[in-house]
């Protein structure tokens, strides 16, 4: 199955010049969602004890991959959204900063973790999520994405951290 055919491009959203990659047709298609779930899960079967997903669309793919692997799911959230004791990591955006958090008891020391999100662009959010996972003493087996935006530095950012990156499809600027 060609996953790219189920991803809609919305020009000038959320602002002029941006080409938004909309996954709603993909997750609304049972065969497409099943394909993506199995494609990500089979690559990491037997290698991980948990899947961590980044809010918000990483929750969709991370949860179904965790289910397919028979392991738990750990949410990485925006500030103030987790009810228990949490740790956070601030990171730079193009214009400002952001923060993500996870529960301190979400992962165990030495646990093998797959980090999942829908899209890899600049790598800032994924690198911050990786930093949180590592602060808890867990090991990142891989960072998996449905979409990679070619031409942006996300892959290099994560690989410099020692993270193996896998994406099911990529889009160039002219697609």
Q: How many CB atoms sit inside 10 A of residue 137's CB? A: 11
pLDDT at 75: 98
pLDDT, position 153: 96
Q: Which of 21, 57, 77, 155 is catalytic?
A: 57
User: Which has the closest alpha carbon to 136: 157, 113, 117?
Assistant: 113
Which one of 8, 19, 21, 94 is the catalytic residue?
A: 94
Percent of the chain with pLDDT over 90: 93
Q: Assign domain 3-171 to its CATH architecture.
A: 3-Layer(aba) Sandwich (3.40)
pLDDT tens digits, one per residue of 5-54: 999 999 999 999 889 999 999 999 999 999 999 999 999 999 999 999 99
Q: How far apart are CA 34 and CA 68, in angstroms?
A: 10
Residue 95 has pLDDT above 80, yes or no: no
Q: Which two tokens stand for residue 92?
A: 């730079």
Active site residue 57: yes
Label the pairing between strands 50-54 and 112-120.
Answer: parallel
The DSSP H or E segment spanning 128 is: helix 124-135
Torsion sign over Cα 137, 61, 147, 117 = negative
């Amino acid at each position: 199955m060609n996953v790219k055919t189920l991803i809609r491009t919305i020009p000038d959203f959320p602002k002029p010049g941006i080409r938004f990659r909309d996954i709603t047709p993909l997750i609304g298609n049972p065969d497409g969602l099943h394909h993506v779930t199995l494609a990500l899960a089979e690559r990491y079967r037997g290698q991980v004890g948990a899947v961590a997903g980044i809010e918000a669309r990483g929750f969709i793919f991370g949860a179904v991959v965790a289910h397919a692997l028979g392991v738990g799911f750990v949410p990485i959230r925006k500030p103030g959204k987790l009810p228990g004791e949490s740790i956070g990591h601030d990171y730079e955006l193009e214009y400002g900063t952001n923060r993500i958090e996870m529960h301190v008891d979400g992962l165990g020391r030495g646990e093998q973790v797959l980090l999942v999100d829908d899209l890899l662009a600049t790598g800032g959010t994924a690198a911050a999520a990786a930093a949180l996972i590592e602060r808890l003493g867990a090991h990142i087996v891989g960072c998996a994405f449905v979409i990679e935006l070619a031409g942006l530095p996300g892959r290099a950012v994560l690989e410099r951290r020692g993270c193996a990156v896998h994406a099911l499809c990529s889009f160039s600027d002219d697609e």
